[in-house]
Amino acid sequence: MEQVLSKIDRRKFLKFSGITGAGFIIGLSLKSKAGTASVAKAGDVAPYGLTPFVMIEKNGTITIFNPKPEMGQGTFQSIPSLIAEELEVPLTGVTIQQTGGEKRFGPGQSAGGSSSVRGSYFQLRKVGASAKEMLVMAAANQWKVPVGECYAEDAKVFHKPSGKSIGYGDLAEAAAKLEVPKDPKLKDPKDFKLLGKDIQRPDIPLKSSGRAVFGIDVEVPGMVYASIAHSPVFGAKLVSYDDSVAKKVKGVIGVEKCQRIFGPYTYDCIAVIGENYWAALQGRKALSIKWDDQGNDKFNSKDYTQYLHDLSKQDGAIDKEEGNFDKAYSEAPVKLDSFYETPVVSHSPIEPMNCVASWTDGNKLEIWASTQVPGGIMGEFTKKYNIPEENLTIHTMFSGGAFGRRLYTDFVDEAVQLSKAIGKPVKVLWTREDDTEQGPFRPMTFSALKAGLSADGKALAFQHKVISPTIRYSKNYDKTKTDGTMTEGISDQKYEFPNMKNLYVNADFHIPVAAWRAVTSTTLAFAHESFIDEMAVKANKDPMEFRLGLLTKDSDTKTVLQKLKEVSNWDKPLPAGWGRGVAQYEFFAGLAGYVIEVSKKGNGVNIEKAYAVIDLGTVVNPDMVKAQVEGAAVMALTAAIKSGITFENGQTVQKNYNTNQLVRINEMPPVEVHILANGGPKIKGVGEPGLPPFAPALCNAIYAATGKRIRKLPFDIHNV
C-alpha cells in the first residue's frame, strides 16, 4: 500500500478519461439526481459527467479515489474497502488517492458529521460491483465462454471449468468498451471478505513509523515560513506595528499584513516571513504591535455566565411542543426544576493549524493542507480569488486530528494571502498558543429543565430550555426562532412524555465558535440525561427501569438501553462505595449509550469501567468502531473534568496544554465497546455518537456512589 501524496497526474488522468480503451475508469454519473447516482464509465459522459472512483490501468495498477479526508476516523480504510469488496481486489494491492476538491470527483469531498461511510455505503459498493461485472464479462468474451462460468477474485477473473485466469489490467481495455450494468448484483454480506471484518488500516504502518505525511510535513521548492501574530483579545483592531527589530532577526525575510477570516469576523494580523520556521517565530516575537481592544478587553467568563443566567428567564422560542406542558406542569403534584451549565472547550488537535500555499503566474494556486473540506476549499477559493477550477490544485494531507476544527479554512486563507503577496510558496504554521488563544471554540450551552411527575412517579411533563450562542453564522439568522443546531437532539429523544415543551434562547457572543466533535449534543446530552436521572430519583425508581418505562414502543434507544443493561450486569450489586450510571443520546450522527461504574476515592471518585453500546445497523470495520468510541470517551472525559476555555480581559486564560489540559494515559478508564449491527438498510454514524452520553453516565454514576448531583461542567473528579 502506498500513500500517494502528489496530485493526480493530470495528463495520465485525461488520457484515461478521454479515450476509452486505454484503461478503465468507473465511477458515479453526476447527471443523476442526488441519492440515485448511477454508475458510469469514462468516455460515456464528458468532460465532468463522471465521478471516478476506480481506475484500472493496463499494467494492473488499481487506484481508488477517496473523497473522504483521513483525520483519524479511518476513512483511508473504510471508504476504499466499500469498492474493493465488490470489485474483488485486496485492499493491500491498491493505491488510495485522496481527492482534492476537483469538480469531477463530485460533491461530498469532505469529512464531518459522522457521515462518510453511511453516505457512501451502497453507492460505492455499486461502483465496485459494476466494474467487476464488466471485467468478468470482458474475460468471458475473450475466452468465448459463458459468463456464468467465470468469477472474480484477487484482481483476476477465473474460468471455473478450466481453471485459467486473467488479471484485471489485461481486461481493462475490453471492459471499458462494455455497457455499464444497470443493476449490478451486490454481494451477500455473508460472502464479505472486508466489510464487517476487523481489517487492519493501511495507514497504520505509516503512522507507526513517522512516514505518514501530514500538512505540517509538506515542503516544496522555494518555500518560506510564516508565523502570524493575531490579537489575543477578540475584536481588537490593529493600530500600528513596529517591525524594525523583527526584521533584524537572522533568517527573517519580510513582514506582511494579512487577515484571518472566520465566519463573520475579519481580524487584522501581522505575519513574519522567515527562511525557516524558527526564524519566523523569533521575528514574530520581536514585533511590537499596538492593538485597540475597543472595549473587548472587559469581556470575561464570569460576567458572561451571569448574562446567560439572566437570559434563561426569557420565555424563548419553541423548539418542539406536544400536549400542554404549562398546564400539566402546574398541576403536577411533584415538580422538579434544575439548571445545568457547560463550558467552552477547544478542539486542540495535536497537529497545529498549518497550510502551504503557492500562488504562481497571476492566477494559479496550489494548496497543501490538513483539512476536512477539500471540496469546500475548491468552491470557496476559486470564487474568492476569481480563478478557474483547473488552476487550483488542492492536496488533501493526513490530518493530525481535526474534531471539527478543520472544517474551517481561516488558516488556509492566511497562507494564500501571503503567497499571493510575496510570490513564493509559504508555509503558515500556528503555534499551540495561537491554536488555544484564537479558537474557534465549542460554545457553552446552559439548560433550564423542568419536569412534572405524578405522585406515583409517572412523568407527566418535560421541558428542556437551551440558552446559548449559536455556531450558525448566517446573515438571515432569526433570534426569535429556535435553532436546531443548538437544540440538537433534545426534541428527538424517544422518551414518551405526554406533555413536552422545549425552548431556545439565543445569546450574543463575539468570540468565534464552531462545530466540535458531536457538536451541541456534547453539552445538551449532559443536561438532558442527568435530568432524566434526577426524575428517576424523584420518582424513586431505578434509573435504567425509569428510562425503559418511558420507552413503551420499540426503538433503537430501547434496544441500546437493554443491551447496556445486559453487558454491564446492571442488576448485579456493586461493591460498597461504588455506583453506576447510565445515559444514552440519539442525534443526527447516530446513537450510543454508556453504563459507567465509579468508586469513591477520597473526596472524589475513580472511574472503574465504562461499558459503551453503539447502534450502527451496519458496520464496516468493528475494530475501528471500537477505537472511535474509546477515543470519544477520552475526549468526553477531558471536556467533563478539565478546565476547558475561560476568558478574562477579553482573551483566553488558557494558552497551551499546561493550562488547557487534556486527559492523559493514567486518567483513562477501561472502555468496553459493544456494537449493535444486525444488518439491514439502516446505517448510523461512528465518529461522534460515543461522545455525548459519556459525561451524563459518569455524573449519574457519581450521584449513585456519593449522592452528589453534578450540574455544572467541568468538575473536579478528585473532589466532587
Partner 1 sequence: MPEYTLNVNNKDYKIDVDPQMPLLWAIRDFVGLKGTKFGCGIAQCGACTVHLEGTPIRSCSFPVAAAAGKKITTIEGISENIDHAVQKAWIEMQVPQCGYCQSGQIMSAVALLKNKPHPTDADIDAAMQGNLCRCGTYQRIRSAIHRAAELV
Residues near partner 1 (CB under 8 A) are: 71-74, 200-201, 203-214, 216-217, 250-251, 276-279, 282, 348-352, 398-403, 429, 431-433, 623-624, 627-628, 630-635, 656-658, 662-666, 668, 670-671
CB of 184 to partner 1, least distance (A): 32
Closest CB to partner 1 among residues 128, 690: 690
CB of 201 to partner 1, least distance (A): 6
Cite the beta strand spans of 183-329 per DSSP E: 224-229, 237-242, 252-262, 265-274, 288-292, 317-322
Nine-digit cell string for 44? 460515456
Closest CB to partner 1 among residues 514, 634: 634
Closest CB to partner 1 among residues 22, 525: 525
Q: What is the DSSP letter of 197?
A: S
What's CA 547's distance to the chain center, in Å? Answer: 29
Contacts 24+ apart (CB under 8 A), 538-544: 538/334, 538/336, 538/451, 538/453, 538/457, 539/334, 539/453, 539/457, 539/458, 539/459, 540/457, 541/457, 543/581, 543/582, 543/700, 543/704, 544/570, 544/582
Beta strands at 62-66 and 50-57: parallel, antiparallel or unpaired: antiparallel
Contacts 24+ apart (CB under 8 A), 138-143: 138/171, 138/174, 138/175, 138/178, 139/166, 139/171, 141/174, 142/166, 142/171, 142/174
Q: CA 720, CA 716: separation in Å to the nearest integer? A: 6
Beta strands at 590-601 and 578-587: parallel, antiparallel or unpaired: antiparallel
CB of 373 to partner 1, least distance (A): 16
CB of 566 to partner 1, least distance (A): 22
DSSP three-state, residue 457: coil
Closest CB to partner 1 among residues 129, 635: 635
Closest CB to partner 1 among residues 399, 487: 399
CB of 212 to partner 1, least distance (A): 5
Based on the number of CB atoms within 10 Å of its own CB, is 478 exposed (0-12), middle (13-18) or buried (19 or more)? exposed
Closest CB to partner 1 among residues 340, 398: 398
Closest CB to partner 1 among residues 455, 665: 665
What's CA 344's distance to the chain center, in Å? Answer: 18
Closest CB to partner 1 among residues 282, 487: 282
CB of 347 to partner 1, least distance (A): 8
Q: Which of 233, 227, 236, 223 is nearest to 287 (CA)?
A: 227
Based on the number of CB atoms within 10 Å of its own CB, is 680 exposed (0-12), middle (13-18) or buried (19 or more)? exposed
Cβ contact 136:152 at 8 Å: yes
What's CA 165's distance to the chain center, in Å? Answer: 43
Q: Which residue has the cell 450540574?
A: 711
CB of 115 to partner 1, least distance (A): 18
Nine-digit cell string for 522? 456534547
Closest CB to partner 1 among residues 47, 670: 670
Closest CB to partner 1 among residues 209, 240: 209
Q: What is the DSSP letter of 442?
A: B
CB of 291 to partner 1, least distance (A): 23
Residue 531 corresponds to which amino acid? F
CB of 360 to partner 1, least distance (A): 23
Nine-digit cell string for 545? 427501569
CB of 401 to partner 1, least distance (A): 5
CB of 613 to partner 1, least distance (A): 17
Q: What is the DSSP letter of 310?
A: H
Closest CB to partner 1 among residues 634, 713: 634
Closest CB to partner 1 among residues 477, 657: 657
Closest CB to partner 1 among residues 447, 660: 660
Residue 547 corresponds to which amino acid? R
Backbone angles phi, psi at 125, to 5 degrees: -60, -40
Closest CB to partner 1 among residues 203, 556: 203
CB of 629 to partner 1, least distance (A): 9
CB of 492 to partner 1, least distance (A): 27
Backbone angles phi, psi at 338, to 5 degrees: -135, 155
CB of 199 to partner 1, least distance (A): 10
Q: CA 676, CA 615: separation in Å to the nearest integer? A: 5
Closest CB to partner 1 among residues 427, 528: 427
Cβ contact 39:132 at 8 Å: no
Cβ contact 391:365 at 8 Å: yes
Cβ contact 268:257 at 8 Å: yes
Helices (H), 539-660: 543-549, 556-567, 622-641
